[in-house]
Amino acid sequence: MIKRSFDILVSLAVLLVLSPVLLVTGIAVALGSEGGALFEQVRVGRRGKEFHLLKFRTMRPGSEAGGQITVGMRDPRITGVGLFLRRTKLDELPQLINVLRGDMSLVGPRPEVPRYVALYSSEQRKVLEVRPGITGLASLAYFRENELLGRSADPHLTYVEEVMPAKLALELEYLRRASFSYDLHLLALTVAKLLGSGSGNPAIP
């Protein structure tokens, strides 16, 4: 109850305070290339329930047909405005609406697409026991994941064999340590990262 109430209050406050930024960003995305301002992608949430995750659109319409993994900032499908949004993480802001809907939490395991959830082991599927989050331990450790994959000769294979297992191990670690105070700690680390004062992997208290 405390976590859910906190999620709602913070999401509403951030959406209200940043409403001018959201408006300008949405207009910039819509004018920057064909397609709407928002992008919806099916992700797997709590108890395996699928939902539509919201982001500001950073790629050209139909780009997902070429694969669901983006390869760093050199991915030709990314728009000019999208490049800026990805670097600043502003493309993630619409997920606050997902939090208000109850699809997500501010902090939790990062939601994955069905294609990759199908590859989870029984142990890894434990991450589906809680609401997924906008940020979390794995999100912080892999803050520049797209750049890492961009250096790979086979991004899909690198993700499935290296990145995804490592991230899921961190998500399971989060579940073992989960508490309201730990969520606050991870939120503080996220803010530090976004402001440019955080570097390296997050410390685990």
What is the number of domains present in the chain?
1
Q: Is a pLDDT exceeding 80 seen at residue 103? A: yes
Q: Which residues pair with 43 in a beta bridge?
A: 51
Q: Which letter does DSSP use for residue 53 in this model?
A: E
CA–CA separation, 180 and 89 (whole Å)? 24
Residue 27 is part of which domain span? 2-194
CA–CA separation, 100 and 12 (whole Å)? 8
- pLDDT tens for 158-197 read 999 999 999 999 999 999 999 999 999 999 999 999 988 5
In a domain, 201, yes or no: no
Q: Which whole-number Å values give the CA distances from 86 to 43, 89, 162, in the listed order?
A: 19, 5, 22
In a domain, 204, yes or no: no
Task: At 190, list the tokens.
Answer: 């996220």
Rounded to 5°, the CA angle 85-37-52 comes to 95
CA–CA separation, 95 and 38 (whole Å)? 11
In a domain, 202, yes or no: no
- pLDDT tens for 61-90 read 766 655 556 655 567 788 889 889 988 999
In a domain, 200, yes or no: no
